[in-house]
A and B are shown apart, each in its own frame.
Chain A
Amino acid sequence: MILEILSVGLIISACLALFLDEAVYSVAALAGTFLFTALLYVLNGAVFVAIFQFAVGVGTLAILFLSGEMLSDKPTKKTSLKSTAALIGVGVVLSLPAIFISVSGVASSGADVTFGDALWNLNGLDVVLQGLVILMVAVGTAIVLYQKRSGGK
């Protein structure tokens, strides 16, 4: 059950990442995409990769936030709520094949390493915390830049 929810969330955030008009919003949606793929990796038993994706994704998103700020100089038209709702609907429709179609293949084996183990013994926790710190810094810088641009100097 949780697999389906995560898949739907993944595809919805991917659709939103592309179709939202404001650059910063689409970067936020891309962050959601990274988050959902990391969670899906964990559920598939690839815990290492999930932590790595999280860390690397945070780095990418930091740069993306900053450059999203710098790339959108002209005021763009805001996406209305209704079109966002339509987008979410499109995302749900697109994710239906992923849930209902199943390709017969190799049976899955369990995870080699448990989640808690990965967090503590394999220093996953450190990576995640560092990632959060970097993310905070990036968001803060973006806010500062935004205020500098729109407010007074």
Chain B
Amino acid sequence: MDFVILSIVMLSIGIYGLLTKRHLLKVFISIELIAIGATFNFVTLASAMGKGLGEAFLILAFSTDTAVSAVILALLVIVSKKYGTSDVSEILKIAEEKGETEAEI
């Protein structure tokens, strides 16, 4: 099953993006890629084994993922509007100068 390798590659691209990217939207896209990699793995394995139940549950997982993504994006937009920049290290620097902690961001 080369699809397992494919999902591992997608996962590693997502992890690489998480490690190196500084733009808020890129970080979010990396998280989406990891989710895509994971669900891809499950769906292809489930359909290969013929168990339709796995696919049904992955639909549930998709919708939950999307709802979470919507909330995350709203938070990202609020944060970027508050600090005027979309660069994570810049946001951290500005927050340190103003003396706020991460949780207040």
Contact = CB atoms under 8 A, between A and B. Distances in A.
Query: Is there any pair of Cβ atoms, one from A and one from B, under 8 angstroms apart in the complex?
Result: yes
Interface of A: 7, 10-11, 14-15, 17-18, 23, 26-27, 30, 33-34, 37, 40-41, 44-46, 48-49, 52-53, 56, 59-60, 63-64, 67-68, 70-74, 94-95, 97-99, 101-109, 111-112
Nearest to A113: B52
A101 B1 CA distance: 9
Given A11-B13, A46-B43, A63 B73 contact: yes
B85 A64 contact: no
A11 to B, nearest CB: 6
B25 A60 contact: no
Contact of B49 (A18, A70, A102, A106): A106
Nearest to A112: B52
A95 B9 contact: yes
Nearest to B80: A71
Contacts of A108: 47-48
A26 B44 contact: no
A68 B25 contact: yes
Given A18-B17, A33-B36, A56-B62, A49 B25 contact: no
B94 to A, nearest CB: 14
Nearest to A6: B6
The main secondary structure of chain A at its interface with chain B is: helix
Name the interface size band of chain B.
Answer: 35 or more
A70 B40 CA distance: 30
B79 to A, nearest CB: 9
A68 B58 CA distance: 27
A55 to B, nearest CB: 9
B66 A59 contact: yes
A102 B44 CA distance: 14
B76 A71 contact: yes
A49 B2 contact: no
Given A67-B76, A72-B86, A105 B36 contact: no
Nearest to A21: B23
A70 B79 CA distance: 11
B25 A7 contact: no
Given A18-B13, A18-B33, 13 more contacts: A11-B13, A26-B29, A46-B46, A49-B59, A52-B62, A60-B69, A64-B73, A67-B73, A74-B86, A98-B5, A99-B2, A101-B5, A109-B48
